[in-house]
Amino acid sequence: MQERGGEREPILIRRARIIDPSRQVDQVGDLLIGSGEILATGRIARDQIPEGCQIIDAQGLVASPGFIDLHCHLREPGYEFKETIATGSQAAARGGFTTLCCMPNTDPPIDSESVVEFIKSRALSESSIRILPIGCVTKGRQGQELADLEELASSGVVAFSDDGDPVYDAKLMRLALTYSYDLGLPISDHCQDRSLSCNGVMAEGAVATRLGLAGIPAAAEEAMVARDIALAEMTGGRLHLAHLSTAGSILLLRQAKERGLPVTAEVCPHHLTMTEQWVMGSKGAPTDYASEFAYETSTKVYPPLRSQFDVDVLVDALSEGLIDAIATDHAPHDSMSKQVTYEDAAFGISVLETALGSALELVHQRKLSMGAMVSRLTQGPARVLGDSFADLATMEPGTPADIVLFDPDKEWTVDTSKFASKGKNTPLEGTNLKGRVLATIASGRLAYQSDELKSQKTNAGTNVANP
Give 278-303 pLDDT, tens digit per residue. Answer: 999 888 888 777 777 889 999 999 99
User: Is 60 exceeded by the pLDDT of residue 459?
Assistant: no
Q: Could you give the CA distance from residue 14 to residue 33 in angstroms, rounded to a whole number?
A: 11
* Average pLDDT score, the chain: 94
Look at residue 454 in the predicted model and tell me its pLDDT.
61
Could you tell me the CATH number of the domain that includes residue 145?
Answer: 3.20.20.140
**Listed residue (370, 457, 434) closest to 59, CA to CA:** 457
> pLDDT tier at 50 (50, 70, 90 boundaries)?
confident
- In the chain, the number of structural domains is 1
Q: How far is CA 463 from CA 10, 22, 46, 458, 460, in A?
A: 12, 34, 17, 10, 8
User: Is 50 exceeded by the pLDDT of residue 463?
Assistant: no
In a domain, 181, yes or no: yes
Percentage above 70 pLDDT, the chain = 96
> pLDDT tier at 344 (50, 70, 90 boundaries)?
very high
Look at residue 283 in the predicted model and tell me its pLDDT.
87
For residue 95, how many other CB atoms are within 10 A of its CB?
A: 26
In a domain, 18, yes or no: no
- Tell me the three state secondary structure of residue 435: strand
> pLDDT tier at 51 (50, 70, 90 boundaries)?
confident
Q: Which residue has the higher pLDDT, 31 or 454?
A: 31
Q: How far is CA 299 from CA 58, 89, 199, 424, 462, in A?
A: 36, 23, 17, 12, 49
User: Is 50 exceeded by the pLDDT of residue 213?
Assistant: yes
Look at residue 7 in the predicted model and tell me its pLDDT.
56
User: Is 50 exceeded by the pLDDT of residue 466?
Assistant: no
Of the residues 329, 391, 402, 407, only one is catalytic, namely 329
Look at residue 415 in the predicted model and tell me its pLDDT.
98
Q: Could you give the CA distance from residue 393 to residue 342 in angstroms, rounded to a whole number?
A: 39
For residue 72, how many other CB atoms are within 10 A of its CB?
A: 26
In a domain, 356, yes or no: yes
Look at residue 228 in the predicted model and tell me its pLDDT.
98
Look at residue 299 in the predicted model and tell me its pLDDT.
98
Q: In Å, how far from its chain's centre is CA 462?
A: 37
User: Is 80 exceeded by the pLDDT of residue 460?
Assistant: no
Please indicate, yes or no, whether the overall pTM of this predicted structure exceeds 0.85: yes
Q: Is 45 left (phi over 0), alpha (psi -120 to 50) or beta?
A: beta
In a domain, 23, yes or no: no
Sign of CA dihedral 111, 113, 114, 117: positive
329 is catalytic: yes
In a domain, 394, yes or no: no
In a domain, 434, yes or no: no
For residue 37, how many other CB atoms are within 10 A of its CB?
A: 17
Q: How far is CA 27 from CA 19, 21, 24, 60, 208, in A?
A: 7, 11, 10, 12, 47
In a domain, 7, yes or no: no
Sign of CA dihedral 256, 241, 301, 344: negative
In a domain, 60, yes or no: no
Q: What is the mean pLDDT of residues 347-363?
A: 98
**Listed residue (325, 354, 374) closest to 435, CA to CA:** 354
Q: Which of 148-157, 235-244, 275-284 has the lowest mean pLDDT?
A: 275-284
Residues with Cβ within 8 Å of 184's Cβ and at least 6 positions away in sequence, in order, are 238, 386
Q: Which residue has the higher pLDDT, 75 or 463?
A: 75
Look at residue 286 in the predicted model and tell me its pLDDT.
82
Look at residue 289 in the predicted model and tell me its pLDDT.
76
The pLDDT tens digits for 151-180 are 999 999 999 999 999 999 999 999 999 999
Which structural domain, as residue segments, surrounds residue 80? 65-389+410-428
CA-only gyration radius of the chain, Å: 21
Q: How far is CA 444 from CA 96, 369, 390, 463, in A?
A: 14, 28, 17, 18
Q: Which of 109-118, 360-369, 398-407, 454-463 has the lowest mean pLDDT?
A: 454-463
Taking each continuous run of H as one helix and of E as one strand, the counts in the chain are 14, 19
